[in-house]
Amino acid sequence: MKLNMKAALLSALILPGLGQIVNGKKLKGFVLIIIVNIFILVALLFVLKGMGQLMITMKMGRTVDMVSLLEQVRRDGGSGPRWLLNGFLGIWVYALFDALLDRPREVAEEGAESR
C-alpha cells in the first residue's frame, strides 16, 4: 500500500475532494467538493442570521449587550451549528484518509498491466 501524500495534503489543507481528483477519482472529488460547499454555505447563513440580529440592534440605536446577544443567537440556532461542524469534520477526515490511502488511477492501471 503506497501512501499518496500530495493528494492527502490537497484534501487536508486546500479543499476536501481535491486529493480524489488528483488520484483520478473525479466524480468522487467533485461530489465531496459540492458537499463541503453546501456545508460552508449553510454555516454562512447561520453567521449572517446572527449578524442580522446584531445589525438590527445597532440600527435601533440601542447599546449592544454582547453576552445577551450571543446567548440569543445560541438559543435560536439550536443544534444546527454543532451538526454542521461535526458533519464538516467527518467529511474532512473521510476525504483526507480516502486520498491518503487510495492509489492513483495510473498506478492501479500499471499494476493491472504487469499481470
Note the pLDDT tens digit of each residue in 45-89: 887 877 777 777 777 777 767 777 777 767 766 667 778 888 888
**101, 3 in Cβ contact below 8 A?**
yes
pTM of the model: 0.68
pLDDT at 91 over 80: yes
Q: How confident is the model at residue 34 (pLDDT cuts 50, 70, 90)?
A: very high
Give the domain extent around 17.
5-113
- pLDDT score at 35: 93
CA distance 74 to 89: 20
* Sign of torsion over alpha carbons 76, 80, 49, 64: positive
Q: Give mean pLDDT, residues 15-39.
A: 89
When divided into structural domains, the chain yields a total of: 1
Of 3-17, 32-46, 93-107, highest mean pLDDT: 32-46
Give the sign of the dihedral formed by CA 22, CA 88, CA 43, CA 28. positive
Q: Residue 4: is its pLDDT beyond 90?
A: no
